[in-house]
């Protein structure tokens, strides 16, 4: 029979795969890979403040992620600096603040490796509940606002002319990324979260012909990579997060070779 901790890891990773696979399509379409990386770096600060306040790391991750996302949107609206400059500043600032605050709060015994690269095998039942609660929220929001988010992505000028509030939906999308980051830390870690958002849709884009099929295929790719990475991690006793990302990389390279062969 499967060990309990392996079963919990599998259930949690599959839930995150569904969220990241579907939301990651918009990250690719909007060309916001660097933004998701900036928010993921703020996760370390969220963990440290969650521990310091006693509210827990999940609450800290969501709050800090939402604050950083809001600040980035405000600064982007002012158009004083380019988007990549703003994201670069926030990315490195968040990561540095997180390391400093975490060292003060947790002392010298902090397991930085698990925070940076994930530790899916340490997930408990409460974490699973949190993951699937966010899954319901994020997938529900995507289903409700799919057409509007897609229109803003494909033709922003047309969407605005039809009365859609660009800033409102941008904040909504960034909030969903913050939620996704908050539950992905334990699986792939702070430094590898972005790969879970961008590689599955990058693979699916090779085969998909419509946005809906791309989102569905992205979820399938994400689930397949999680199963491959988790199995290799257990069999060879290696870090799970990096193995999942390596599995994603293998699938991506295979998809590109497939396209080249067809060409």
Residue 157 contacts by C-beta under 8 Å, 6 or more apart in sequence? Answer: none
Tell me how far apart the 2 most distant CA atoms of the chain are, in Å.
59
Residue 124 banded pLDDT, cuts 50, 70, 90: confident
Residue 112 banded pLDDT, cuts 50, 70, 90: low
What is the model's pLDDT at position 219? Answer: 93
User: Which range among 37-51, 157-171, 176-190, 237-251 has the greatest average pLDDT?
Assistant: 237-251
Q: Which residue has the higher pLDDT, 10 or 79?
A: 10
Quick one: tokens of 45?
């600060």
Residue 79 has pLDDT above 90, yes or no: no
Residue 170 banded pLDDT, cuts 50, 70, 90: confident
List, as one string, the DSSP characters of 177-192: HHHHHHHHHHHH-GGG
How many other C-beta atoms are found inside a 10 Å radius of the C-beta of residue 54? 8
Give residue 164's region: left, alpha or beta (phi > 0; psi -120 to 50).
beta
What is the model's pLDDT at position 1? Answer: 45
Share of the chain above pLDDT 90, in %: 19
């Amino acid at each position: 029979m499967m060990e309990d901790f392996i079963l919990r890891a599998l259930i949690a990773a599959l839930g995150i795969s569904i969220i990241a696979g579907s939301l990651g399509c918009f990250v690719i379409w909007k060309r916001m890979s660097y933004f998701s990386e900036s928010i993921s770096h703020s996760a370390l600060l969220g963990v440290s403040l969650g521990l310091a306040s006693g509210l827990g790391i999940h609450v800290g991750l969501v709050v800090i992620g939402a604050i950083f996302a809001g600040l980035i949107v405000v600064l982007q609206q002012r158009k004083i600096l380019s988007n990549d400059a703003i994201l670069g500043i926030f990315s490195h600032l968040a990561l540095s603040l997180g390391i400093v605050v975490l060292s003060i709060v947790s002392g010298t015994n902090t397991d930085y490796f698990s925070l940076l690269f994930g530790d899916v095998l340490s997930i408990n039942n409460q974490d699973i509940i949190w993951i699937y609660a966010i899954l319901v929220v994020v997938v529900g929001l995507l289903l409700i606002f799919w057409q509007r988010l897609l229109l803003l992505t494909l033709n922003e000028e047309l969407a605005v002319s039809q009365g859609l509030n660009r800033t409102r939906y941008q904040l909504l999308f960034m909030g969903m990324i913050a939620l996704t980051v908050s539950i992905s830390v334990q699986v792939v870690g702070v430094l590898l979260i972005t790969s879970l958002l961008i590689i599955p849709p990058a693979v699916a884009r090779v085969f998909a012909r419509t946005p809906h099929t791309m989102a569905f295929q992205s979820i399938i790719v994400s689930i397949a990579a999680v199963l491959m990475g988790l199995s290799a991690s257990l069999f060879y006793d290696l870090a799970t997060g990096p193995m999942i990302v390596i599995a994603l990389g293998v699938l991506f390279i295979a998809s590109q070779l497939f396209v080249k062969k067809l060409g």
